[in-house]
Structure 1
């Protein structure tokens, strides 16, 4: 479990599944993803997240603000091959009601601290569709830099998809 001034980042609970499914079915939240998720797909994602914690000792933490589930933030290993894989990726997905409060930046900063501290990672990446300016702003706020040479066509998305082109950001472990 990780704590920040306003947030708790913790393992998933059964009670997180319903609000997570609602978040994954929200067209505005999922604007930069290929599709909305059904309840079954959302629950399966929670299962994969928990398996990641068991296998690697890290994953996408459930995030709480004022005792309420608001989404996830944390680390994962992409399940596709690209020029920058294998790697560890930092990501986040928050309910609309949690946007605009700096929660993504606060939670991601804590997750990076865990990545470079407890886990001893040397580098973390993040990527998103070119159009996802909100996530790119979070990437910059947490100290990541865009790797212009690393921009790529996401191999899971079909040719012609407006979301296929992705930007790549990186951050290395701070010196000292």
Structure 2
């Protein structure tokens, strides 16, 4: 089983008891504001998402990690790797992404988890390049991307929702562990 420990976090595969707290995160309009069209997700759609994320682990050898706080055992959200099929113009590519519950914002958890995931992608999984995509205006995510050393590669538009997007990237030669 793939696990990564950071000073404050455990990045791990999904457990059955992660469903309710992840559904609570997905039901928060403020959390979902910058995700696709901003729609919240219910328990059923969260369960379907977790199932897809676990399938991606099996199919690709990477996926979205559940992010657990070491101090409390609470599920903070996710970070991890996925293939951004919703944006065909960037394929083939692997994207790093994250989503944390609002109570976990502003504490450096997203940066800590994303840095560990990026190191996993480039050093453990042998990827030579990783991208990250955010909606224009989502400054918090863009700040995490900059902290990772990612640079703006292009601006584009979500082909389904018409939202302006920015694609950032980093390759193995630019990454500093």
Aligned equivalent of 2:24: 22
Normalising to structure 1: TM-score of the pair?
0.92
Cα distance in 2 between the residues matched to 1:153 and 1:175 = 26
Residue 175 and residue 90 in structure 1: after superposition, are their counterparts in 2 closer, same or farther (change >3 A)?
Answer: closer
Query: d(CA) in 1 for partners of 2:87 and 2:102?
Result: 31
SS in 2 for 1:83: helix
Q: How many residues align?
A: 169
Match of 2:107 in 1: 101
Deviations 1:115-168 (A, max 9, x none): 011111110000111011110000001111111xx21111121x4xxxx11011
The alpha-carbon deviation at position 80 of structure 1 amounts to 2.6
Name the CA distance, whole Å, in 1 between partners of 2:87 and 2:166. 15
Structure 1 counterpart of 2:160: 156
Of 59-68 and 81-90, more deviation after overlay is shown by: 81-90
Q: Does structure 1 conserve the Cα–Cα contact (< 8 Å) formed by 2:87 and 2:158? A: no
Which residue in 2 is equivalent to 1:88? 94
Deviation at 1:81, TM superposition (A): 4.1
Q: Distance in 2 between matches of 1:51 and 1:175?
A: 30
Is residue 56 of structure 2 the alignment partner of residue 57 of structure 1?
A: no
Please state how far the C-alpha of 1:175 moved relative to its aligned partner: 6.3
Q: Distance in 2 between matches of 1:16 and 1:59?
A: 16
Residue in structure 2 matched with residue 3 of structure 1 by the alignment: 5
Aligned counterparts of 1:26 and 1:175: Cα–Cα separation in 2: 35
Change in 2 beyond 3 A, CA 1:175/1:100 = closer
Matched, 1:123 2:129: yes
Unaligned runs of 5+ in 2: none
State the TM-score, normalized to the length of structure 2.
0.92
Worse overlay, 76-85 or 64-73: 76-85
Aligned-residue CA RMSD in angstroms? 1.3
* Structure 1: gaps spanning 5 or more residues: none
